Amino acid sequence: MEGVAPPPSNDDSTLARTTKPSWSRRLAWIGLAWAAAMIVLIVLNQPGETPVPGNRPIEALAADYVSSDTCRSCHPGNYASWHASFHRTMTQPATPQTVAVELDGVSLSYDGLDYRIDRRDDAYFVRSKPVGAAESAFGKPLQIVQLTGSHNLQIFWLETGDRREGRTLGQFPFGYILAEKKWAPMVQTFLVPPGPKAVYSKGDWNNGCINCHVTHGRSTFVEGSTFDSKASEFGISCEACHSGGREHIERNRNPIRRYALHLFGGKDPTIANPERMDGPAASLACGQCHSIWAFHNAAASVTWNKENGTYRPGQKELDLRWVVQPQGTDHPEARAELKETDPHFFGDRFWGDGMVRVTGRELNGVLASPCYKGGHFSCLNCHEMHPDKTDPVTLDTWRRNDQMKPKMESDQACLQCHQDMKARLTQHTHHASSSEGSRCYNCHMPHTTYGLLRSIRSHQISSPTVKETTEHGRPNACNLCHLDQTLAWTAEKLESWYGQKSPGLSKEDQALSLAAQIILKGDAGQRMLIAWSMGWAPAQKASGYEWLYPFLIFELNDPYAAVRFGAWKSLQTLPGFSGYEYDYTQEDAQQKEAVARAYQKWWTEVRKPSPTFRTQTLLESTGMFRQDLLDRFLDQRNDRKIYLAE
């Protein structure tokens, strides 16, 4: 019948035609299968995206930032010098390539706990247990996820171990002192009073260090002690000094524009260059970090926390913050709040006359300098960020010399502006032209700043006076070099040479070495400055070194760890004590034993019987302390707790 299909046939050929694909179709399927297999193979062999760490701050571009890697192709020389700098390594993830010392197997003990560090692949983990407890008592491992510093001290930051706290960091209680190749409790790497067991609390990196140790950091407080912190780049990168580079990159994709700028020497408005700025703007580019600053108010702090500020290098003022000068009258409400929340805020950062006394805050000194008033003087008069030569030797020397320009460690630093002084240098200094007393910076930038376990030059250009010592306790430049001399001696010289009227002085200041007095009765910061100066070669040459031993040995038992460290390092510069071993972190009883051993060594092996020690140095003619003066000055010691907030 029409329209009805015939019954199925049992013929094999018919079945073959209706149930099997043709050879062409078979080949097509084979081809598709082969292509699919290749795609799968390629995907499986592609490097997967690196998982974003959830237990530490991360790099995440924001605003107009594009990262230093984007700058590299057009500016390879500048990139090379930046890459060699300590700025770049200010903050780094913790890896075998970035840690300053091999961590695997390190065992340390502090404050009743044993710590052990173990390596797993390219990560390091810390476990702790009570001192003396069995191995099985070691607790949960916490990863060392981040590092701060690579020049003087390397600090190690831990994950908290709580997923709810995300990118919040905790503090590993030890830091590594690079020059000494020594582990030390963090609390003993800062000038802080004895007693506290930690310098940093959980979240302090997120809430504090991030402000200056990365580029465009956003702490992003969530709740409690929890942070979701990010930075456009770890360390201090190109855009920290040159501003965000997004527009610069886009505009300069046009080769004609680049050629025209190069040919006619034009300034590119799409990028900041501190070398082409006036003094105030160039200095602020550095001072956005290198200053003591505070937020305008709580609202400014909240904004900064979320998205950082809108300040970019080249601008004349910070947007949410202000540079704190203690003698100023600006921002009265913020000043009052600082004093209320931290009564020691100014005293732990400034001398009584407003001169900054802690390192890393150089802009405060520059702002107060007469040179700055002319509008041309800036940090870049003496320092450079990109030396002309980028060979490894040049870059290593440059970065270890505080990124100074050539010859800027000499009088040329000052004579580049004060050219008339060159012809009358000795007339002005009253010292031989070849002596350290004729070096401009020894008188006008003395070592009255503390930081990084040593004394550092002040960046406030000033002239030595007696009043800075009598009224504010700051050792003056003359007595920091002539350690054996009295304050009256300095007063007489300054009056005779420069017409400074001598103030009334105490009997002690008329008869006894100022340095000898300060190292016994000064506050911890003052004691450290003198202890460091006793190891300074120009001071040893000017004042003699034989009488310094008893003072430095005595200070090996100072209550402040930083002062003990300074005394030990200076003692090592004296004949007979080179390489002298001493653990400045040990307990009080062991310190006293170390003092006795060092004193015995000096008395029997090093002390020369011929010199007669002068009474103005507080010593008997034999070298023994004059006991009445020692007791008196120790009774007068300024025991105010001091934390120099470097």
SS3 for 82-123, per residue? HHHCCCHHHEEECCCCCCCCCCCCCEEEECCEEEEEEEECCE
Q: What is the pLDDT of residue 49?
A: 64
Q: Mean pLDDT across the stretch 251-273?
A: 88
CA dihedral 568, 571, 572, 575 (to 10 degrees): -170
CA distances from 204 to 199, 227, 361, 392, 646 (A): 9, 10, 19, 36, 15
SS3 for 455-493, per residue? EECCCCCCCCCCHHHHHHCCCCHHHHHCCCCEHHHHHHH
pLDDT for 39 beyond 90: no
Of the listed ranges 36-50, 119-133, 337-351, 590-604, the least confidently predicted one is 36-50
Q: What is the pLDDT of residues 524-575, one digit of tens each?
A: 999 999 999 999 999 999 999 999 999 999 999 999 999 999 999 999 999 9
Q: Mean pLDDT across the stretch 442-466?
A: 97
CA dihedral 408, 409, 412, 413 (to 10 degrees): 60
**H helix runs in 194-278, sequence order:** 204, 210-213, 238-242, 246-251, 255-264
Q: Mean pLDDT across the stretch 14-40?
A: 46
Are residues 394 and 403 in contact, defined by beta-carbon separation less than 8 angstroms? no
Non-local CB neighbours of 92 within 8 Å, separated by 6+ positions: 98, 146, 147, 150, 234, 235
Are residues 209 and 56 in contact, defined by beta-carbon separation less than 8 angstroms? no
Radius of gyration of the chain, Cα coordinates, nearest whole angstrom: 32
- Residue 129: strand pairing partners: 114
- Under the banding of pLDDT at 50, 70 and 90, the label for residue 245 is very high
pTM to 2 decimals?
0.90
> CA 308 to CA 237: how far, in whole Å?
16
> CA 213 to CA 292: how far, in whole Å?
14
CA distances from 396 to 6, 149, 239, 256, 384 (A): 94, 16, 23, 37, 14
pLDDT for 622 beyond 70: yes
Q: Measured in whole angstroms, how far is the alpha carbon of residue 499 from the centre of its chain? A: 40
Q: What is the pLDDT of residue 22?
A: 53
**Residue of 616, 634, 631, 620 lying closest to 520 (CA atoms):** 634
Beta strand 58-59 with 230-234 is parallel
Q: What is the pLDDT of residue 276?
A: 93
Are residues 110 and 57 in contact, defined by beta-carbon separation less than 8 angstroms? no
